[in-house]
Amino acid sequence: MKVSGEIVCIYLYSVGSEIDISKVEKILNRLPQFFGLKSDRAMPEYIELGWPPIFVDLGKRKMKIFDKEEEFRINVRIYNIGAISILFKIPFSCEIKELLKFSKEFVFKYGGKKTSFREMSKQIKDRTEESLKEYIKPIYEATKSIEIPETYKIFCISKIENGKIDASNFLKGNKRVITGILREEDKIDKISETEINEAIKFNFSYFSNDLVIVDWGSSLIIEPSGKYEDYLLVTELALLQLLKLRVYDEIVDKKIAKAHDDLKKLTVGGMKFVFLGKKIEQTVREISELRIKMSEILENTRNITKFIGDYTLAKHYSFLSERLHLDDWEKTINEKLSTLAELYTIASDKIDVHRSEMIEILIVIIFLIELILLVIELFK
Residues 292 and 152 in one domain: no
Q: What is the pLDDT of residue 356?
A: 79
Residues 329 and 371 in one domain: yes
Residues 229 and 244 in one domain: no
Residues 152 and 247 in one domain: no
What angle (nearest 5°) sits at the alpha carbon of residue 214, between those of residues 210 and 217?
A: 140
**Contact present, 211 and 171 (Cβ < 8 Å):** yes
Residues 10 and 153 in one domain: yes
Between CA 309 and CA 327 the distance in angstroms is 20
Choosing from 213, 233, 253, the residue where a domain stops is: 233
* pTM of this structure: 0.83
Type of residue at 350: K
DSSP codes joined into one string, 240-301 = HHHHHHHHHHHHHHHHHHHHHHHHHHHTT-TTHHHHHHHHHHHHHHHHHHHHHHHHHHHHHH
CA 72 to chain centre: 25
**Contact present, 179 and 186 (Cβ < 8 Å):** no
Q: What is the pLDDT of residue 346?
A: 74
Residues 371 and 280 in one domain: yes
Q: Residue 356 contacts by C-beta under 8 Å, 6 or more apart in sequence?
A: none
Residues 104 and 170 in one domain: yes
Choosing from 212, 233, 254, the residue where a domain stops is: 233
Extract long-range pairs of 312-316: CB within 8 Å, 24+ residues apart: 312/204, 312/206, 312/212, 313/44, 313/46, 313/47, 313/230, 313/231, 313/234, 315/204, 316/204, 316/212, 316/214, 316/231, 316/234, 316/235
Q: What is the pLDDT of residue 142?
A: 56
Q: Tell me which residue range forms the domain holding 298.
A: 240-376
Q: Which spans in the chain are helix H?
A: 21-27, 32-35, 100-103, 117-132, 167-183, 193-200, 229-266, 272-304, 311-323, 326-378
Residues 219 and 272 in one domain: no
Closest Cα partner for 316 from 243, 210, 225, 245? 210
**Contact present, 9 and 87 (Cβ < 8 Å):** yes
Residues 32 and 61 in one domain: yes
In this structure, the number of other CB atoms found within 10 A of the CB of residue 199 comes to 25
Residues 139 and 107 in one domain: yes
Choosing from 204, 233, 262, the residue where a domain stops is: 233
Residues 227 and 250 in one domain: no
Q: What is the pLDDT of residue 13?
A: 94
- Which region holds residue 241: left if phi is over 0, alpha if psi is between -120 and 50, else beta? alpha
Type of residue at 12: L
Residues 48 and 162 in one domain: yes
Q: What is the pLDDT of residue 35?
A: 35
**Could you report the average pLDDT of every consecutive run of 10 residues in the chain (380 residues)?**
94 89 70 39 50 84 91 92 93 94 93 94 92 82 71 95 83 95 94 96 93 96 91 91 87 81 65 60 71 70 60 89 92 84 74 76 88 80
Number of domains in the chain: 2
**Contact present, 251 and 184 (Cβ < 8 Å):** no
Pairing mode, if any, of strands 150-160 and 218-222?
parallel
